[in-house]
Amino acid sequence: MLDTREEVKQAQREAQGTADAETTASAAWQQACLSCTLGRQEAALKSCVLSARLERLFSIVERAASQIGNPKEGEREEKDSAVEKRLEDLESKVSTVHNNVTQMLAMMKQQKGN
């Protein structure tokens, strides 16, 4: 008789354990579904925040690019005058080299002629 009672108690414990496991699994499933739903909502909110931040970043980059692409009038004139001065300097050097080469060729012709 004791063995039968023990078996009944054991069966009840197992049944209760199974019921508890099913309840736990059901609760876990519900939690997972809720978490997934909240995760999607949170991701959507984050993407909205991310989108707003990206728009702000693009705005800053566009503004910086427009300032780089369009120098102020004074800066442009300053750069133009620096370039013109450099060109004049290079033209002067080229002219000097040309004159020196012309003189050397003339001297070589004279030496060949002699």
Above pLDDT 70, what percent of the chain?
59
Phi/psi of residue 71, nearest 5 degrees? -65, 155
CA distance 97 to 104: 10
What does R_g of the chain's alpha carbons equal in angstroms? 45
Where are the domains positioned within the chain?
1-70, 79-113
pLDDT of residue 80: 82
Q: pLDDT digits over 41-88, tens only?
A: 666 656 666 667 777 777 777 777 777 766 666 777 888 888 888 888
Whole-angstrom distance, CA of residue 77 vs CA of residue 83 = 10
Q: What does pTM read for this prediction? A: 0.35
What are the tokens at 4?
Answer: 């039968």
DSSP state of 70: S
